[in-house]
Each structure stands twice: as structure tokens, then as C-alpha cells.
Amino acid sequence: MVGILAIFALFAFGMVWAVSNVLKTALSPVEQMTGLVGTQVAGVLNPTPTILPDPITIVRSVRSLARLETIEYAIEKVITAESMQGPFGFLFGDRLILVAHGEVLAGVDLNKLGPKDLWLEGGVLYVRLPDPEVFVSALNNEKTYVYSRETGLLTRGSLTLEGDARSAAEREIEKAAMENGILIQARRNAESYLYGLLVQLGYPEVIFIQPQETPTPTPANP
């Protein structure tokens, strides 16, 4: 009797296993189709942009540079941009807050340094550096972001508002760097760097003068 029960148990287990495999085989295409549909739905709801760069590259100009970059500012500005903020602002208004991060790079363009700007007098090398200038002032797009945006009930918002805010942010970042003395520090750093270089080249005394300054004559030895 025990043997017969064991045989029936093995037979029942075999049947369950066979039915399970049949069900898995039958349901596998359905599961695959469900997964495919889910992937397609996710693609529609969260589309991935396709970037197609044009294979043709046009080089407009090439020029040599001799820019001595001496200082860089990293600046953050908060910009508020808005439009249609009147009595009907709740219907047609648009307002955003942009947190802008940017860099301003300044220095001295040594291409503007001519023979008349370096001369020896009484063993002293006089150097008249050109005016320092801002070489680069740009937003850091990876760190710049829209913090918040509010649009009216009857509008989707202006397509150019964020671009206008970014343009204003670039101007404000450069303005802030100028107000904090970036050009003054750029000149000081350039003089410090070039002083060490010229001393190593064998000039024991180097004096930097302003672009419009006339050097004071060295008194003659009695």
C-alpha cells in the first residue's frame, strides 16, 4: 500500500511539474508582450531625445593667441524673469527664478605688447603692459538651472523667457566680477608672474608702469 501511495505521489508531482512548464511556456509570450508594451508606454511618457550632429564642420577662422590668463572668478547669481505681471497675471503671466553659475576669466593679451613697451634704462627694465581684459564670461550650463516657474491658467509660458534670463545672467555675472576688481587683480597677477620670469632671464630689476604712465628718470650717479 505504501508503495502504491508513493507511486501516486510521484505521478501527481510529475503532473504538476508538467502543467507548470506548459503554463510558463504559454505565458512567456504574453509576459514578453506586456514588458514590450510597458517599455513603449514609458518611452512615450518620458521620451529620450535623439541628438544628430551634422557631419559637416566649417572652420570660419583660425588665429594665434598670446593671452596670459591670470585670474578666474566663479560666480552665482539668482535671476528673476517675468512677463505679463499685471491685473491678469494669474491668467497670462509667466515668472521664473534662474539660479545661474558662471565663470569669468581675465588676463593680459601679450599680442598687444610691442617693442616700445619694453626698454632698458640705467640697468632697469621697464615694462608697460597692455590693459587687462575679460577673455571669457559664460554660464556653466551644468550648474545653471531653473529653480521655479509659475505660469498663468491660460498660458503655457513664453518660449524665450528662460533664454532672456540666461542672457541677463551672463551680463550680471560679468558685471559682478568687474565690480569686485577682477581687472585689478588680473594686472597684479600678470605683473607678479612676468616679474619672476624676467628676473630668471637675467634682468635684476624690473619695473611695471601703467599704459599712460611716463617712467621717472633714474638719477645719474655723481
* Same domain assignment for residues 105 and 15: no
What is residue 12's predicted lDDT score, i.e. its pLDDT?
Answer: 43
* Same domain assignment for residues 8 and 110: no
For residue 216, being part of any structural domain is answered with no
Amino acid identity of residue 10, one-letter, is L
Cross-strand bridge partners of residue 79: 98
Cross-strand bridge partners of residue 104: 73, 137
The answer to pTM > 0.75 is no
Q: Which domain holds residue 196?
A: 67-209
For residue 17, being part of any structural domain is answered with yes
For residue 222, being part of any structural domain is answered with no
Which tens digit of pLDDT belongs to each residue from 126-146? 999 999 999 999 999 999 999
Count structural domains, the chain. 2
Q: Three cell numbers at 220?
A: 645719474
* Same domain assignment for residues 75 and 159: yes
* Same domain assignment for residues 101 and 36: no
What is residue 158's predicted lDDT score, i.e. its pLDDT?
Answer: 85
Cα separation, 34 vs 114, in Å, equals: 74
Q: Count of CB atoms within 10 A of residue 91's CB? A: 13
> For residue 187, what is the enclosing H or E element?
helix 182-200
